[in-house]
Amino acid sequence: MLYLGADHRGYYLKEEIKKFLASKKWKFKDLGNSKYDKDDDFPIFAFKVTQKIIEQPKENLGILICGSGIGMSIMANRTKAIRAGLCLTPYAAELGRKEDNINILVLAGDLTDQVIAQDIIERFLTTKYIPQEKYERRIKMLDELG
């Protein structure tokens, strides 16, 4: 399952992403915010998504969106076994999946237009992690040291 979360600065991009995901027939669940609220707080939505990912870390993925993407990245990466990556290009999303096995894609609502976001998401969802000794070693270090 793909879980979505966004604060007010990512809300409108999230709503467009939902239409895109539905058109591609990708299953997803929106964990909020369910309405635009200029006073909401990004950590709440990042926490909701990370908790769903760690329930089934091999099956579940997430997309988080805030203004810069930085706040969501910080919050998500505080959770063990989460590897959230802020991706501003499709190529970054591809490398994030292929080499670092990111399980949460973070987008910057203030910096990423809808068309680029769709390309980034498509790359994130269609690229598979390619296990190699160096990548496995690094991911293990993240889990042990983090």
Active site residues per annotation: 66
Which candidate, 118, 49, 114, places its Cα nearest to that of 77?
49
The strand pairing partners of 93, in sequence order, are none
Q: Could you tell me if 112 and 120 are in contact, meaning their C-beta atoms sit under 8 angstroms apart?
A: yes
69-89 burial by CB neighbour count: b if 16+ within 10 A, else e? bebbbbbbbebeebbbbbbbe
